Amino acid sequence: MSRVTICDVAPRDGLQNDPKVLEPSVRAELVNRLASAGVPRIEAVSFVNPARVPAMAGAEEVVAGIERREGTVYAGLALNDKGYERLRATGLDEAHFAFAVSEEFNRRNSGADVESSVQSCLRMIETAHADGLRATITLGTSFGCPFEGAIDPGRVLELAARFVDAGVDEVVFADTVGVAVPRQITNIVSGARSSSATPVGVHLHNTRNTGIANAWAAVEAGATVLDASVAGIGGCPFAPRATGNICTEDLVYLLHGEGVETGIDLDALVVIAEWLEGVLGRPLEGMVYKAGVFAPVAGGQVLHVASPDPAR
């Protein structure tokens, strides 16, 4: 049986653009619930300017409220040197860095051109390694940009190779605005895998309902890390019309049904999604937490299965 690592990004990417801003204590509770469900890696916070992303204010308080669980990797996102210094001071296990491949998107998001962001990320990765932290890089808009349109996959792979050469621990390709189809995912992931042994991951959004198909294409192409968000919450605050990340419990249902192990308790994820629906006060994007786990496919219990409609 093959295995992939799921990184749940709900506490960070999931909540950063939500209309309901949660207190740090509630965000820490979400992290703790995910860890208890066996999620192996959690992106708990981002160290960004709270004036730009108010939902991420109080990152240090969130980390202080985490009940560390053995076997869980707790990560944070930093976009500049100040953010990294804040991350390092909290004692998190892993540092995530990111930039956008698209010049226009990167300028709007960070105020810098791509080359400047690449140099900044390379420098921070070197610092993180010197500090004993594992470091990953995410290449945003790897599959398309709302401002520039199509993105040259050759350029994406060239940029990724620079980080591989610098010793980054993992390269993640992000479909920031949810435009990719499986063919694109396969081309990028297989291209990256063919040129190095550095682990490859994908960060997918379900804006056009291709997210889960793209995740499976990534697994078949050799990706070993998949970002997802419990209940499918989230979306980039600087991406027009962006919707949620692919849903963790929906992804786990697919993977377990296909014989790919994750180490995650699917039933526990469903409970978390139900809890989060109550916290946010609205129905969320996930499907499995509403329809129920069909045990013959993915194991676990059968939950919330409605009576069949006799008219259909």
Q: Name the pTM for this structure.
A: 0.94
Catalytic: which of 7, 145, 236, 247? 236
Q: Return the pLDDT at 4.
A: 98
Q: Return the pLDDT at 296.
A: 76
Determine whether 236 is an active site residue.
yes
Q: Return the pLDDT at 301.
A: 55
Q: Return the pLDDT at 236.
A: 61
Three-class DSSP labels, 103-172: HHHHHHHHCCCHHHHHHHHHHHHHHHHHCCCEEEEEEECCCCECCCECCCHHHHHHHHHHHHHCCCCEEE
How far is residue 160's CA from residue 281's CA, in Å, rounded to a whole number?
40
pLDDT < 70: residue spans in the chain: 1, 235-243, 298, 300-312
Domains present along the chain, CATH in parentheses: 5-298 (3.20.20.70)
